[in-house]
Amino acid sequence: MSNKNKDYLTGIYEILINLLSSSFESIPEEIFENIKTINDPNILKELVNHLIEHNDLNDFSEFLERFIKEEEEDEKSESERDDYDSPWKEALEKFFPQCIQFFFPEAYEDIDWSKGFEFLDKELHQITKDAKIGRKCVDKLLKVWLKNGDEAHALIHLDVQNQHEKYFSKRMYIYNYRLFDRYETFVASFAILGDTSKKWNPETFEQERWDCKMKFQFPVVKLSKYEDDWEYLENNDNPFAVVVMAHIKTKATAKDDEKRLQEKLYIIKHLYKKGFTEKDIINLLNFIDWIMHTSEDYDKLFWQELEKLEKEEKMPYVTSWERLGYKRGYDEASQEAAKQVAEVSNAAAKQVAEVSNAAAKQVAKAKQTTAALLAKQIAKKFNTNESPQINLLCQLNQDDILELGENIIIMNTLGEIHNWINQKIK
């Protein structure tokens, strides 16, 4: 938003606040919080006109609440089919430095990345577990080291919010002061907003009474702003540009699997031309496939088209990528089995035994599927028969199978794989 537009928005906002303050003696704080979420001058003008016409605080509050509710319902309807949080969580874990470089370059330049960084997920959970507001998001707390030497390290709280949250800025403030209280060090709070609203842009939380004033301001990035700068994303060599591309096209194709399939293949073709490392390509493929998921029929078409693409480009990444797929499949099967056991009453011992047996069978089936997928990879890579590989792999436990899946890329002979398996069996 240009400075001119910001000034225009601020002017209408001040008119509305002054009109409220001069018309009514006692105004609930919630009304001011709701107004702060509005980033469209036309909506603010509509609120001003409504207030002048009716001059009733209760009526105005209801009118404002209806608007906020409509915004939230639109956002919920848009994203109810798609899972944004899980793939975003993984993307941050795989590409955190690239994320900071892409969105917050000033912070990136100040950090000494040669010293690494540390995720503090458990510590963040300790200060957020009793939060009463907004928890549908991806939160990360990290410890990084600085170049200047004035301070040994700094903390970054990064929040990815993929749908409208009424008290978002308040929650950011609460987490910031709780972290400061616990660690007694400055905490940089960053926000990435993945919603589609053009009106919602929370970047401050402030309170004022008498001569006492508190204002908390934090950097906010709206992913929707890149919709109008697609060329910048395509020309950017940061892997996180691909993450943003996939996110934007997922939002744009929320109800159209055919269009989503086209966009998904387009982004992957673009990815193959960027010259990223094999590891980065596989992680990005996983993110794209996860966030841009389609129905089963279109998923089959996707795999067919992807195999054609890999033959054309002579870049066989699918085999390596399959490891991620069967690993996730095993994890989901194990979680489902555990869930079945947990839901059974302790009093029904017989039912517990039955469900436990079913769960064990499900885990065993997941292991067998994992072994079969890995055997297929081995057979393809070394031009050999699958059956003997399956028999060997089934002698391993599930953790060993997954570990072998992670290491197969660097193994150059079938004998090397067999020696690895034999060592584990012993």
- From residue 421, alpha-carbon distances to 85, 405, 418 in Å are 36, 12, 5
**What is the chain's length?**
426
**Model confidence at 321: pLDDT above 50:** yes
What is the identity of the amino acid at 212?
C
Which stretch of DSSP H or E encloses residue 221? Answer: strand 220-222
pLDDT, the chain, mean: 78
Burial class (CB in 10 A: 0-12, 13-18, 19+), 282: buried
Per-residue confidence band for 77, with pLDDT thresholds at 50, 70 and 90: very low
**Model confidence at 237: pLDDT above 80:** yes
Q: For 285-299, write each residue's pLDDT tens digit.
A: 889 988 888 888 888
**Model confidence at 400: pLDDT above 60:** yes
CA 397 from chain center: how many Å?
31
Tokens of 348: 């029904």
Average pLDDT over every residue of 198-214: 86
Q: Which residue has the higher pLDDT, 163 or 190?
A: 190
Which residues pair with residue 221 across a beta bridge?
Answer: 192
**Model confidence at 411: pLDDT above 80:** no
* CA-wise closest residue to 33 among 219, 212, 178, 200: 200
Q: Which residue has the higher pLDDT, 44 or 220?
A: 220
- From residue 143, alpha-carbon distances to 4, 81, 265 in Å are 38, 34, 36
Average pLDDT over every residue of 327-332: 46
Q: Would you state the pLDDT for residue 263?
A: 93
Average pLDDT over every residue of 416-422: 83
Q: Would you state the pLDDT for residue 156?
A: 93
Q: Which residue has the higher pLDDT, 88 or 404?
A: 88
Q: For 79-108, write each residue's pLDDT tens digit.
A: 445 578 888 988 999 999 999 999 999 999
**Model confidence at 28: pLDDT above 80:** yes
Average pLDDT over every residue of 299-315: 79
**Model confidence at 66: pLDDT above 60:** yes
Q: Where are the domains of the chain?
A: 3-79, 85-225, 229-315, 319-425
Residue 378, number of CB atoms within 10 A of its CB: 24
186 and 180 Cβ atoms separated by less than 8 Å: yes
Q: Would you state the pLDDT for residue 262?
A: 92
**Model confidence at 190: pLDDT above 90:** yes
Per-residue confidence band for 221, with pLDDT thresholds at 50, 70 and 90: very high
Average pLDDT over every residue of 168-194: 90
